[in-house]
Structure formats: structure tokens, C-alpha cells
């Protein structure tokens, strides 16, 4: 068993990172811009500012290697929940029969935020910029309800109105999330809804349509474009969200240094790629500049929605209604509607362009796991460490266990660090189904992926026109 002083590594509020890490200037191949679905050209600055808060648009394309976190924001983080703890998973190590310090497992605990996940790290920043720029309303979509709760909390801190379109499957599976959002004054609609043109198409055919993140995004974008005092808010995928999440990796680095630990493997679950991106990006810079050249970085996906493992790296619409910008990313196709697995936050058809770029350049790896195995591991983690993970997070726990057991078998020394993106206190139905034997696995058949990707409506973008010849 390890040194007890390593069990819970805490930072003082004064040790909060002062900067976000922008990985764009370090990427081995140039970052592709957001492209307009109207004409296949990069979204003009003014148009982007009609969709998102202006400061976020500037951050989206910034080439500064670091971006200062405003002092007011740092104060709010310090007052609410940051810095978050890094734990040595001594209970989990014991459960796996790991003794001594050859193999160490650490996890960064983002579940201590007021809404139980990493989402407020960007929600608070976006609400802060909205308020500063005179925006009165932020509109968004939510899958599992984590992002919707995060943004509701963030908006409420600044008195900005929050409107949330929640994927109907989750609206029913997770009623607690909807109540939490309303507790923070948000307006919440099940999606597809009858309040937007993009929702109505589906709603009128089937009022119980389970919905998808793609449809909910279309609804939120449409709603936000109705008023010039409203903006759309995104909880994942785009560069500025991953940027805001780098506060997680920045803190983790300081905490590991405090106990003299050097990471060999970093692990996170991937939905749109924001918790994983924010956790790894400060370390990716070290991997690229040779300080941590042997670092292994693994993203984990559900077998029911493996955008990176089984999707293609190509241009695709961000949403089903083809209103949101086109992105170059690993995708299963914008028309793909994933099975209603409990890890609602991992049911997006694509993944962040930054993560896609890193994967395509072989800087990170990706693996997949089944729903029943991750829920089983979630229960084991709860017994060992005392926190019930969100089903999304349980994907990372599972892979950390796989890596630790592999190292044990091979007699290797390894420090494994994973991001504990959130707790599962609003996801108890997933655990209940497991306990009653009702939980099913879904694996996406290759024919379905092929069908979605061979859709004649997949966009094409002339890349030679995006980058001027140098
Ligand atoms: C939203 C969410 C995810 C997935 O989203 P990313 O943008 O990939 O991080 C993962 N875990 C939790 C707890 C979430 O709330």
C-alpha cells in the first residue's frame, strides 16, 4: 500500500492555475476552421459572433499558447469548487490486488463541482463572457443533463437566462436533472419539441421520439438565432470549450508534481471530447516537446457510439438539421442516432476537432467498452473508493483497471492517471437495471455506420481553399 500522504492531494485556492493551455499552435497538422453549412467557406467572424459570445469566438481561433484566466473567474472558481482534489485510488488498487508503489492509480475528481461534473468549468466561463458582453440569454442542448445543469448553474451565478433542450430519452431517464436545472432557474424542454421548426419535424411524426444530441443542437441553435440578445452555448466539441477545460489538466500536473509522480498513462472518457481534452492537453504539450515523450494517452468510448474507433475523419455537420457549423472530425455521420445507452453524454455522432487531429496524428489512442461492463466497474469503484461514477466516467474507470491489471501481469512499473469526470447520483436507473438484470449491451453494426457515412448528404469541403498556399 502506498504512502498515506499521497491519498488525497489538495491545492489551496491561491494555487489555482492562472492560465488555460491552448494546444492549437502545437498541433502537428494545422487546425481546420469551422465551416458554414451555407457555402462551405470558413464561418465569418461576425457570423460566429451572432452564434457564440465574442470572447469565445476569439478563443476558438487564437494562436496564443496560453490564455490568461480572468481574475474574476478565478475568484468564482475558488469560491465554488476549485481546485478539485486528485486522489490516489488506494481502495481500487487494493481491490485489484496491487500492493506497493510499482503501480499507482490516481484520479482527478471533477465530481465535486456543484452539479457533479467537469461541465461548470466552461459553463461559468461562458456565462461570465455573455454577461460582460450584454447577452441576456444562453440557449443550449443537453444529453444526460450534465451540461444543462452546468450551464443553468453558471448562468444563475450571473443572472443570465438559460434555456435547455434536453434529449427526450434522458428527460425521462433522469428526471432529477431537469429539477436541478429548474432549481437554477432554467427553462427546460424535451427534445424534439414543438417549439422549433427543426424539432417539430420529428415531434409531429412521433411525440415520444427519443431524440438525439444532433436534433437538440439544431433546436437550440434555431432558438438562439431568434433574438440578438441570445447566444448559443456549447458544452463540448469546439476548441474554446476544450480550452476552458484545461484548468483540469493544469491542476493535475501541479498535484502530481507535489507528490513527485510522473504519469505513464492518462485516461479519460470521450463524448464530445471536452473532459478528456481538458485533462490531457497540458500533458500533450509535454509529449510533443519531448518532456513526456513516452506518455500513453487513451480515450474511451462506448461500443454503442464509437465515433473515434469506428468513425471516419472527414467533414460533417455538427447537428442533424445541418444548421450548426461543419467540422472536420471523426464522425459516425450527422444522421446517426445512437442506441439509448445510459452514458447519455457519450451519445454524440462526432468528436472534438482537436481530439480528431491528435488521434489522426497518432498522439493519442482510443478504445471501446460495453455498457454492462462499465456499470459493473462503476459499482466496484463505489465500493472501493466511495463515489458512484457517472456511466460516462465509468468508461475511464474500466480502462484504468484494464491498464493497471496489464501492468501487474507484465510486472511493469506504471503510474496511471484518469479523469473522474462526474458522479452518478442522477444516473441510478442505470445501476438499478444492472442489479435487476435488465441492462442491455448495444454494439453498433458496421453496416449501420457505413449507411450513415455513405449518405449522399454528407458535406464536402474544398480544403485547398481553406489554407492559403505558403
Ligand atoms: C458530459 C459528460 C461527459 C462527456 O462529455 P465530454 O465533452 O466528452 O467530456 C463525460 N462525463 C461526464 C460526467 C459528463 O457530464
At 448, is the pLDDT very low, low, confident or very high (cuts 50, 70, 90)?
confident
pLDDT tens digits, residue range 329-346? 999 999 887 887 888 788
Å from CA of 102 to ligand 1 middle: 30
Q: What angle do CA 125, 141, 243 make, to 5 degrees?
A: 30
Å from CA of 271 to ligand 1 middle: 6
Contact between 176 and 188 (Cβ < 8 Å): no
Position 245 pLDDT exceeds 60: yes
SS3 63: coil
Q: Is the CB of 301 under 6 A from ligand 1?
A: no
In the predicted model, what is the mean pLDDT of residues 383-404? 98
With a threshold of 0.85, does the pTM exceed it? yes
Q: Is the CB of 391 under 6 A from ligand 1?
A: no
Cell 479523469, residue located: 419
Segments making up each domain of the chain, as ranges: 4-16+82-116+245-453, 20-67+119-232
CA distances from 427 to 146, 182, 300, 343 (A): 10, 18, 19, 9
CA distances from 4 to 7, 9, 222, 380 (A): 5, 10, 53, 22
Cell of 60: 476558438
Q: Is the CB of 113 under 6 A from ligand 1?
A: no
pLDDT tens digits, residue range 205-244? 999 999 888 889 889 999 999 999 999 999 999 999 999 9
Å from CA of 274 to ligand 1 middle: 7
- 268 strand-pairing partners: 299
Å from CA of 299 to ligand 1 middle: 12
Instruction: Kindly give the number of the ligand 1 atom that is closest to the alpha carbon of 241.
Output: 7
DSSP 82: P
Position 2 pLDDT exceeds 50: no
Query: What local confidence, expressed as pLDDT, does residue 346 receive?
Result: 87
In the predicted model, what is the mean pLDDT of residues 395-421? 98
Q: Count the Cβ atoms, other than its own, within 10 Å of residue 462.
A: 9
Position 470 pLDDT exceeds 70: no
- CA dist 385 and 109 (Å) reads 11
Selecting from 3.50.50.60, 3.40.50.1100, 2.60.40.10, 3.40.50.720, what CATH number does the domain 20-67+119-232 have?
3.40.50.1100
Arithmetic mean of pLDDT over the chain? 94
In the predicted model, what is the mean pLDDT of residues 98-121? 97
pLDDT tens digits, residue range 264-282? 999 999 999 999 999 999 9
Q: What count of Cα atoms within 13 Å lies in the side-chain half-sphere of residue 155?
A: 29
Query: What local confidence, expressed as pLDDT, does residue 30 receive?
Result: 93
Cell 442533424, residue located: 320
Instruction: Kindly give the number of the ligand 1 atom that is closest to the alpha carbon of 271.
Output: 8
Position 451 pLDDT exceeds 90: no
Q: Percent of the chain having pLDDT more than 70?
A: 98
Cell of 115: 452539479
Cα dihedral across residues 299, 165, 248, 312: positive or negative: positive
Position 469 pLDDT exceeds 80: no
Position 37 pLDDT exceeds 50: yes
Position 97 pLDDT exceeds 70: yes
Fold classification of 4-16+82-116+245-453 is: Rossmann fold (3.40.50)
In the predicted model, what is the mean pLDDT of residues 150-156? 98
Query: What local confidence, expressed as pLDDT, does residue 339 receive?
Result: 80
What are the start-end ranges of the E strands in 270-364? Answer: 296-302, 312-317, 326-331
Q: Is the CB of 273 under 6 A from ligand 1?
A: yes
Q: Is the CB of 236 under 6 A from ligand 1?
A: yes
Q: Is the CB of 177 under 6 A from ligand 1?
A: no
Position 81 pLDDT exceeds 60: yes
Position 118 pLDDT exceeds 70: yes
At 84, is the pLDDT very low, low, confident or very high (cuts 50, 70, 90)?
very high
Query: What local confidence, expressed as pLDDT, does residue 449 receive?
Result: 86
- CA dist 290 and 287 (Å) reads 5
Position 179 pLDDT exceeds 70: yes
CA distances from 368 to 107, 302, 365, 421, 470 (A): 20, 5, 11, 17, 39
- 8 strand-pairing partners: 87
Cell 500533450, residue located: 284
Indicate left, alpha or beta for 383 from its phi (over 0: left) and psi (-120 to 50: alpha).
alpha
**What backbone phi and psi angles, to 5 degrees, belong to 243?**
-60, -50
Q: Percent of the chain having pLDDT more than 90?
A: 83
Query: What local confidence, expressed as pLDDT, does residue 1 receive?
Result: 42
At 348, is the pLDDT very low, low, confident or very high (cuts 50, 70, 90)?
confident
Query: What local confidence, expressed as pLDDT, does residue 91 receive?
Result: 97
Q: Is the CB of 269 under 6 A from ligand 1?
A: yes
Contact between 301 and 368 (Cβ < 8 Å): yes
Which of 410, 377, 432 minimizes the C-alpha distance to 89?
377
Amino acid at each position: 500500500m502506498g504512502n498515506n500522504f499521497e491519498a488525497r492531494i489538495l491545492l489551496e485556492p491561491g494555487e489555482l492555475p492562472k492560465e488555460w493551455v491552448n494546444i492549437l499552435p502545437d498541433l502537428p497538422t494545422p487546425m481546420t476552421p469551422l465551416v458554414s453549412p451555407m457555402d462551405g467557406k470558413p464561418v465569418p467572424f461576425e457570423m460566429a459572433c451572432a452564434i457564440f459570445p465574442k470572447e469565445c469566438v476569439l478563443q476558438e481561433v487564437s494562436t496564443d499558447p496560453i490564455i490568461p484566466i480572468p481574475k474574476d473567474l478565478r475568484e468564482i472558481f475558488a469560491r465554488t469548487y476549485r481546485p478539485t482534489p486528485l486522489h490516489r485510488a488506494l481502495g481500487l488498487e487494493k481491490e485489484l490486488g496491487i500492493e506497493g508503489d510499482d503501480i499507482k492509480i490516481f484520479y482527478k475528481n471533477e465530481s465535486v463541482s456543484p452539479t457533479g461534473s467537469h461541465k461548470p468549468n466552461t459553463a461559468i466561463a461562458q456565462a461570465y463572457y455573455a454577461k460582460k458582453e450584454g447577452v441576456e440569454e444562453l440557449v443550449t442542448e443537453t444529453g444526460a443533463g450534465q451540461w444543462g445543469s452546468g450551464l443553468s448553474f453558471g448562468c444563475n451565478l450571473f443572472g443570465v437566462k438559460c434555456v435547455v433542450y434536453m434529449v427526450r430519452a434522458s428527460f425521462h431517464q433522469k428526471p432529477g436533472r431537469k429539477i436541478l436545472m429548474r432549481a437554477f432557474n432554467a427553462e427546460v424542454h424535451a427534445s424534439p419539441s414543438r417549439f422549433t421548426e427543426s424539432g417539430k419535424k420529428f415531434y409531429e411524426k412521433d411525440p415520444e421520439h427519443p431524440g438525439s444530441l444532433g436534433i437538440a443542437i439544431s433546436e437550440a441553435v434555431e432558438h438562439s438565432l431568434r433574438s440578438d440578445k441570445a447566444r448559443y452555448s456549447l458544452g463540448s466539441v469546439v476548441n474554446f470549450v476544450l480550452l476552458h477545460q484545461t484548468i483540469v489538466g493544469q491542476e493535475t500536473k501541479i498535484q502530481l508534481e507535489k507528490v513527485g509522480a510522473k504519469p505513464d498513462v492518462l485516461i479519460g472518457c470521450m463524448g464530445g471530447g471536452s473532459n478528456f481534452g481538458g485533462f490531457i492537453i497540458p500533458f500533450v504539450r509535454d509529449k510533443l516537446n519531448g518532456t513526456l515523450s513516452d506518455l500513453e494517452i487513451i480515450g474511451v468510448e462506448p461500443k454503442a457510439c464509437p465515433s473515434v474507433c469506428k468513425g471516419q475523419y472527414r467533414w460533417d455537420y455538427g447537428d442533424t438539421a445541418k444548421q450548426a457549423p461543419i467540422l472536420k472530425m471523426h464522425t459516425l455521420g450527422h444522421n446517426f442516432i445512437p442506441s439509448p445507452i445510459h452514458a447519455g453524454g457519450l451519445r454524440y455522432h462526432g468528436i472534438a476537432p482537436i481530439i480528431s487531429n491528435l488521434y489522426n496524428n497518432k498522439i493519442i489512442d482510443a478504445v471501446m467498452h460495453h455498457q454492462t461492463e462499465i456499470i459493473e466497474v462503476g459499482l466496484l469503484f463505489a465500493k472501493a473508493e466511495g463515489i458512484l461514477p457517472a456511466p460516462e466516467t465509468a468508461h475511464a474507470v474500466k480502462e484504468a483497471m484494464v491498464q493497471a491489471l496489464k501492468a501487474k501481469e507484465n510486472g511493469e512499473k506504471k503510474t496511471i492517471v484518469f479523469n473522474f469526470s462526474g458522479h452518478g447520483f442522477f444516473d441510478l436507473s442505470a445501476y438499478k437495471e444492472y442489479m435487476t438484470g435488465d441492462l442491455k449491451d448495444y454494439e453498433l453494426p458496421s453496416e449501420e455506420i457505413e449507411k450513415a457515412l455513405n449518405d449522399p448528404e454528407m458535406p464536402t469541403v474544398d480544403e485547398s481553399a481553406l489554407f492559403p498556399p505558403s
